[in-house]
């Protein structure tokens, strides 16, 4: 059977080794620093959400307008009379 003093010393040594490993892990990985960076990035995204939405709506409206202009040009130059009703009415 082991001496209680030896058991106590071994447990203290294990605890100190664990604390050293934990300290080195925290230094190497720095989870608090990465968590803080992630939080700041999320906060920036949240605060600029409205601006990003406005930019997306502007792009959407611009492309919709371009599409309508192209459709109108196609309809005006198309030979099918059901697409160019304005020109048909003008020639009557």
pLDDT per residue over 3-18, tens digit each? 888 899 999 999 999 9
Q: How far apart are CA 72 and CA 86, in angstroms?
A: 11
Examine the pLDDT at 83 and tell me if it is beyond 90.
no
Q: How many CA atoms lie within 13 A of 33 on its CB side?
A: 5
Q: How many CA atoms lie within 13 A of 13 on its CB side?
A: 6
pLDDT in tens, 27-68: 898 988 999 999 999 999 999 999 999 999 999 999 999 999
Q: State the pLDDT at residue 2.
A: 73
Q: Does the predicted TM-score (pTM) go above 0.75?
A: no
Q: State the pLDDT at residue 77.
A: 74
């Amino acid at each position: 059977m082991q001496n209680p003093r030896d058991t106590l010393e071994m447990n203290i040594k294990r605890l100190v080794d664990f604390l050293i490993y934990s300290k080195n892990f925290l230094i190497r990985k720095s989870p608090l620093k990465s968590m803080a960076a992630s939080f700041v990035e999320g906060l920036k995204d949240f605060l600029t959400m409205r601006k990003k939405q406005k930019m997306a709506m502007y792009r959407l409206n611009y492309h919709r307008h371009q599409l309508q202009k192209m459709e109108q040009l196609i309809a005006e130059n198309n030979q099918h009379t059901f697409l160019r009703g304005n020109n048909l009415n003008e020639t009557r």
